[in-house]
C-alpha cells in the first residue's frame, strides 16, 4: 500500500480519469496542477525542515540563464523531506504518475540528476527553457516527466516567480503557475516543453522561492541527447537574445565535456557560488 501517512493519495486519486484527460489536453503541453499533495501536518514539517538560505549543501547554478541553488543530497535533508522524496520514488507513486500521464514504465531517479531541493533568492531568475533530455549517468534513459512540489509557507503575487509555460514556437506564454505551498505541478518534458520564471524575484532578502523537483525517465535505445535549451522571449532585446544564446552554447559544450570526462558540477558550482555571494554583498 502507498504511504498514506505522507501523501494525500485520496486527493491525488480522486477523479483520476478526469485528471488524466485534463493532463493530456492541457496547453501548451501536457500538465496538471494539484494542490494539497502532502497531508497538512506533513507539509508543515517538510517546509520547516527546508534548508536555510546559507546552508552549506546548496550548490549555485549562477549564469546568464539562471540564478538558483540546488541540494541533490537527500541524506543531508531533514527526515520528512527525505521520506517525502523517497515516497515520490516509490512504486505506488510511480504507478500513479503512469496513470496520470499515460506514460508507461517510468523510472524514478533517486540520484536527483537535475532534481532535488531548489531555492531562488531575491533578484534570481530562470530563463525560459526546455530541459535536458537524457540522464547524465544512464544515457539510455530519456527524461519524460517532471514533478515540482512547492514548499513555500508564504508566496505573494507581487514577488513574481510564477512558472510560465510557453508554446513550442515561443510566441506566447499560455499558462502560469503560482508557487503556492503544497502545490504540485506535473508535466511531460520534451525538447519543446518550454517553461521558466525569467523575471527577477522581488521577494524580501530573507525569503526564497522553494521547491522539490524529481524527474522520471524511460529506458530505450533511440534516446536523443539534448542539453538544456534556453530561449529568449519575443519582447527581449537583441543583446539579451544574444547573451541567452551564447550562454546556451557554452552550457551545451560544458554538458558534452562533463558527460565525456565524468566531470562533477561541485567544483564549478563552488566557484560560481563564491562569485555570486561577493556580487550580492556589493
Q: pLDDT per residue over 148-163, tens digit each?
A: 999 999 999 999 999 9
pLDDT at position 224 over 80: yes
- By the 10 Å C-beta count (0-12 exposed, 13-18 middle, 19+ buried), 205 is classed as exposed
Identify the pLDDT of residue 279: 47
Band the pLDDT of 255: cuts 50, 70, 90.
low
> Can you state the angle between helices 16-25 and 91-101, rounded to 10 degrees?
60
pLDDT in tens, 184-205: 999 999 999 999 999 999 999 9
pLDDT at position 87 over 90: yes
Average pLDDT (60-73) is: 94
pLDDT in tens, 105-158: 999 999 999 999 999 999 999 999 999 999 989 989 999 999 999 999 999 999
Identify the pLDDT of residue 1: 44
Q: What is the DSSP letter of 135?
A: -
In Å, what is the CA distance from 174 to each residue of 166, 202, 221?
6, 23, 33
Band the pLDDT of 248: cuts 50, 70, 90.
confident
Ranges assigned E (strand) in the chain: 31-35, 59-63, 66-71, 107-108, 116-120, 126-130, 141-150, 163-166, 173-177, 183-188, 194-197, 209-219, 229-230
Band the pLDDT of 249: cuts 50, 70, 90.
confident
pLDDT at position 82 over 70: yes
Amino acid at each position: 500500500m502507498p504511504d498514506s501517512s505522507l501523501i494525500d493519495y485520496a486527493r491525488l486519486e480522486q477523479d483520476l480519469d478526469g485528471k488524466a484527460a485534463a493532463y493530456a489536453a492541457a496547453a501548451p503541453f501536457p500538465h496538471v496542477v494539484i494542490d494539497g499533495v502532502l497531508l497538512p501536518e506533513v507539509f508543515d514539517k517538510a517546509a520547516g525542515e527546508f534548508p536555510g538560505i546559507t546552508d552549506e549543501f546548496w550548490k549555485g547554478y549562477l549564469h546568464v540563464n539562471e540564478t538558483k541553488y540546488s541540494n541533490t543530497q537527500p541524506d543531508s535533508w531533514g527526515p520528512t523531506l527525505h521520506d517525502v522524496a523517497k515516497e515520490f520514488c516509490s512504486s505506488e507513486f510511480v504507478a500513479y504518475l503512469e496513470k496520470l500521464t499515460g506514460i508507461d514504465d517510468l523510472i524514478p531517479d533517486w540520484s536527483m540528476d537535475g532534481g532535488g531541493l531548489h531555492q531562488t533568492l531575491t533578484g534570481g531568475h530562470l530563463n525560459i527553457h526546455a530541459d535536458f533530455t537524457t540522464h547524465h549517468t544512464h544515457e539510455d534513459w530519456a527524461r519524460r516527466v517532471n514533478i515540482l512540489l512547492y514548499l513555500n509557507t508564504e508566496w505573494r503575487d507581487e514577488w513574481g516567480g510564477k512558472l510560465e509555460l510557453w508554446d513550442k514556437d515561443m510566441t506566447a506564454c499560455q499558462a502560469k503557475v503560482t508557487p503556492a505551498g503544497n502545490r504540485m505541478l506535473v508535466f511531460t518534458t520534451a525538447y519543446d516543453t518550454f517553461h521558466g520564471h525569467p523575471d527577477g524575484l522581488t521577494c524580501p532578502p530573507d525569503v526564497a522561492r522553494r521547491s522539490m523537483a524529481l524527474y522520471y525517465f524511460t529506458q530505450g535505445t533511440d534516446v536523443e541527447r539534448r542539453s538544456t535549451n534556453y530561449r529568449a522571449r519575443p519582447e527581449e532585446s537583441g543583446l539579451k537574445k544574444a547573451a541567452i544564446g551564447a550562454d546556451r552554447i557554452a552550457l551545451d559544450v560544458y554538458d558534452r565535456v562533463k558527460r565525456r570526462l565524468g566531470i562533477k558540477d561541485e567544483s564549478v558550482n563552488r566557484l560560481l557560488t563564491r562569485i555570486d555571494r561577493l556580487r550580492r554583498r556589493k
